[in-house]
């Protein structure tokens, strides 16, 4: 490499560092292997050194030294991202933020934390303090850090009420440190938040987060079974539109996934049964059951349905085989499926409002068993619609591309989870705000190299259907 890691280590004496190649490699990986494409491209990637700062002053020390010596720095929260976001493509330092995990301050409707705080841990503290909880979290709630969620996530459990992570109001303030000769500490609010949210840590290290809170509930988990998937999807759509029923999760999943992959002892659903997973506030259960009765009680609804599981009617003993329902939803559905069948991967699809139900029906009829349906209902700028994280029985990369193209041709945009760059995984265009901020905050281009095409190759043609090849990628040996 172009830099001397031994000199850097000297410079960082006193900080917690690991350079054992086996351990460094462990901390250089995330859940990229969900994608057979990323698995092929990134499997060999490893940093040279893991540095674990205990506070912001130590972050600044690391950035300053790495800037001076031209060493790349890739931040890492808990490493649960799915697109190789936290993988150091050009080697260098993995900046492990896991030890910066304090919850600093809890107020009415807000919490201030360090970036490495695990989301479930934050919730534990805000619940104990004043019966408040995080409005939204990824299904990796029990393992993911808040800094990693903001740097690389997009929404999840709670998005049915609160929208996406980057929607106005879902993060209140971020404090970041820049990658310069003299790193600066900046407080970002308002419009400025968008400079670094979902930027994969390419333009600043988040050292403090202020996030909004909502009143905490002991959410009631419900699983409703349907003989017909589209009946379940329509039910989910109707329930999502009931603004008076407070809910945190609405997840339709087509048969046979619930039986084959989600239930360890195959107990909660028949093989031909589709399900809708729900989290409902306890005080809304009566209203929910009334909704349920109306929605399924008349013949016009078509197809049979039944409530298969209610956490408020189940003993500890009975639920032994079931994790919390959110660990069957979002990208946990894919994880559960992969535990049973290694050749399964997935897509991320948007079914735009208002035609979502027609589009879902059309697309899933087209693909049949090759692409089993999995939907996540969300509130998107005030309208109810849904994302899909359909499973895909992988055959080869060419067919995977084809499946994505067919989705887009049918009117369902894909957020490609088989690409490691911000642009190809997102809107397939330059994010001018993030790029401009990178010029300011990371002038040498040392933060998480290779993840922002606009920085490396401004001429890249997104319409060419070609995958971006990062020239700075470590070669596989």
- Looking at the Cβ atoms of 230 and 378, the one nearer to ligand FAD is 378
- Looking at the Cβ atoms of 230 and 236, the one nearer to ligand FAD is 236
Least Å from the CB of residue 206 to ligand FAD:
3
- Looking at the Cβ atoms of 195 and 234, the one nearer to ligand FAD is 195
Least Å from the CB of residue 356 to ligand FAD:
19
Least Å from the CB of residue 463 to ligand FAD:
26
Least Å from the CB of residue 372 to ligand FAD:
17
Least Å from the CB of residue 309 to ligand FAD:
21
- Looking at the Cβ atoms of 174 and 404, the one nearer to ligand FAD is 174
Of the candidates 301, 408, 296, 292, which has an alpha carbon nearest to the alpha carbon of residue 347? Answer: 408
- Looking at the Cβ atoms of 361 and 440, the one nearer to ligand FAD is 440
Q: Can you read off the two tokens belonging to residue 87? A: 């993988």
Is 422:452 a contact under the CB 8 Å cutoff? Answer: yes
Least Å from the CB of residue 330 to ligand FAD:
3
Q: Which residue's Cβ has the minimum distance to ligand FAD? A: 148
Least Å from the CB of residue 195 to ligand FAD:
12
Question: Which residues contribute to the site for ligand FAD (CB under 6 A)?
Answer: 30-31, 74-82, 85-86, 97, 115, 138-140, 144-145, 147-149, 151-156, 200-201, 205-206, 330-332, 335, 448
- Looking at the Cβ atoms of 251 and 273, the one nearer to ligand FAD is 251
Is 328:262 a contact under the CB 8 Å cutoff? Answer: yes
* Spatial distance between the Cα atoms of 275 and 233, rounded to a whole number of angstroms: 9
Burial of 407 (0-12, 13-18, 19+ CB in 10 A): buried
Q: Can you read off the two tokens belonging to residue 288? A: 């929910």
- Looking at the Cβ atoms of 80 and 90, the one nearer to ligand FAD is 80
């Amino acid at each position: 490499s172009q830099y001397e890691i031994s000199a850097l280590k000297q410079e960082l004496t006193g900080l917690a560092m690991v350079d054992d190649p086996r351990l460094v490699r462990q901390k250089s990986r995330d859940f990229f292997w969900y994608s057979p494409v990323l698995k092929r491209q990134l499997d060999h990637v490893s940093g040279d050194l893991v540095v674990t700062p205990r506070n912001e002053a130590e972050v600044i020390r690391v950035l300053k030294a790495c800037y001076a010596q031209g060493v790349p720095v890739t931040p890492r929260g808990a490493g649960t991202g799915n697109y190789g976001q936290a993988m150091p493509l050009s080697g260098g330092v993995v900046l492990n933020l896991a030890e910066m995990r304090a919850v600093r301050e809890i107020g009415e409707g807000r919490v201030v934390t360090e970036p490495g705080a695990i989301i479930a841990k934050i919730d534990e503290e805000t619940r104990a303090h004043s019966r408040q909880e995080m409005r939204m979290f990824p299904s990796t709630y029990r393992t993911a850090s808040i800094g990693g969620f903001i740097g690389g996530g997009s929404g999840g459990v709670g998005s049915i009420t609160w929208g996406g992570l980057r929607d106005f109001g879902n993060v209140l303030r971020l404090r970041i440190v820049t990658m310069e000769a003299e790193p600066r500490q900046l407080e970002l609010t308002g419009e400025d938040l968008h400079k670094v949210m979902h930027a994969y840590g390419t333009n600043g290290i988040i050292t403090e987060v202020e996030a909004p809170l909502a009143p905490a509930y002991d959410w009631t988990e419900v699983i409703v079974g349907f003989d017909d998937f589209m009946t379940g999807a329509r039910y989910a759509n109707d329930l999502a539109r009931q603004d008076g029923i407070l809910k945190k999760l609405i997840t339709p999943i087509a048969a046979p996934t619930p039986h084959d992959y989600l239930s360890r002892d195959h107990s909660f659903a028949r093989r031909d049964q589709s399900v809708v997973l729900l989290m409902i506030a306890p005080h809304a259960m009566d209203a929910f059951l009334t909704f349920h009765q109306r929605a399924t009680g008349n013949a016009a609804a078509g197809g049979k349905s039944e409530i298969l599981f209610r956490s408020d009617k189940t003993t500890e003993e009975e639920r032994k085989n079931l994790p919390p329902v959110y660990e069957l939803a979002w990208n946990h559905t894919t994880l559960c499926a992969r535990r049973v069948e290694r050749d399964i991967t997935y897509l991320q699809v948007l079914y735009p409002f208002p035609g979502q139900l027609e589009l879902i029906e059309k697309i899933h009829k087209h693909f049949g068993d090759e692409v089993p349906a999995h939907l996540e209902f969300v509130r998107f700028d005030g309208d109810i619609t849904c994302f899909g994280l359909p499973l895909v029985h992988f055959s080869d990369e060419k067919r995977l591309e084809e499946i994505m193209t067919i989705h887009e041709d049918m009117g369902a945009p894909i957020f490609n989870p088989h690409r490691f760059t911000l642009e190809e995984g997102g809107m397939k265009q330059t994010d001018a705000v993030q790029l401009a901020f990178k010029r300011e905050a990371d002038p040498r281009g040392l933060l998480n190299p290779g993840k922002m095409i606009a920085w490396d190759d401004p001429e890249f043609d997104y319409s060419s259907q070609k995958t971006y090849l990062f020239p700075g990628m470590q070669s596989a040996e």
